[in-house]
Structure 1
Amino acid sequence: MRFADITLGDVAGVIAALAFAYLVFRIGRVVGKAGEILEEARVGVKGLSDGAVPLLGEVTSTVTATNEQLVRVDTITTNVATMSSNVNALTSLFAATLGSPVVKVAAFSYGVRSALRGRAERENRRTRAGRRH
């Protein structure tokens, strides 16, 4: 085949073949870039999962330790509530047992002091009245 024997259809076929080859080349590059991006994403996800597994283990142990501390705090709170109830009962018992007698003793001692003070005042008045005459 000589150059002179090439028809317009042959030229169109060569152009179409070159365009198809160029298109295949461009699509190949796009697919290659997409493959690189997917590989980077795979490496990133693997790194995240490799780092997340120990982190989840640490979180689990932290939550377990926190739950143990909460159980201890709950026990302490229960003991404090029991102790508070016991103190309240003891205070009520003390008030019921000693409250009334203490009030009676205080009233009696006040009465005795008032009587002694009144007697002393009467004696002072008599003494002063005797000095005036």
Structure 2
Amino acid sequence: MSGGEVAGLLVAVFWAILVSFLAVALARLAVTLRAAGRLVEELTDRVVPLLGEATDTVRSAQTQLDRVDAIAGDIREVTANASALSTTVSSTFGGPLVKVAAFGYGVRRALARRRTTGDPAST
């Protein structure tokens, strides 16, 4: 055997070992990819129902927020109406009540003065 034949034989052996390692690596990669595919399928089977439930929850929350918004609007309206009613009652009865209170105070004060001065007309 000549040096060229030995070199060719070494290259062929090296090439066979390299191809064997690549074949083993590709086989392991195929197993890993199959396992990843199964994992993705299982995850999809579990996540899809959860997404449906999350969508239902968000819709329910939106419905509740719409109700709360409507209630808040009603409360604003009631508050405005109560304020208007308070203003109306105050302007309607406030003036006359102040006058009645002032008149009552004046009458009490006059009666108190008559009692303290000893006015004969009061007996």
Q: TM-score, normalised by structure 2?
A: 0.88
Distance 1:13 1:79 in 2: 94
Distance 2:3 2:97 in 1: 131
Post-superposition offset of 1:7:
3.6
State which structure, 1 or 2, has the greater radius of gyration over its C-alpha atoms: 1
Post-superposition offset of 1:70:
0.9
Structure 1 portions without partners, runs of 5+: 1-5, 127-133
Structure 2 portions without partners, runs of 5+: none
User: Is the deviation greater in 9-18 or in 33-42?
Assistant: 9-18
Identity of aligned residues (%): 39
Counterpart for residue 130 of structure 1:
none
1:103 partner letter: V
Q: CA RMSD in A?
A: 1.7
Secondary structure class of the residue paired with 1:100: helix
Structure 2 residue 31 is matched with structure 1 residue 25: no
Q: Map Cα deviations across residues 76-126 of structure 1 (whole Å, 9 max, x no partner).
A: 1111111111111110111011000100000000000000000000018x9
Post-superposition offset of 1:8:
3.7
Post-superposition offset of 1:45:
2.0
Counterpart for residue 131 of structure 1:
none
| Count of equivalent residues | 120
Q: Select the residue among 50, 54, 60 that pairs with 2:49.
A: 54
Distance 1:94 1:38 in 2: 81
Q: Select the residue among 109, 118, 130 that pairs with 2:113.
A: 118
Distance 1:63 1:74 in 2: 16
Counterpart for residue 108 of structure 1:
103
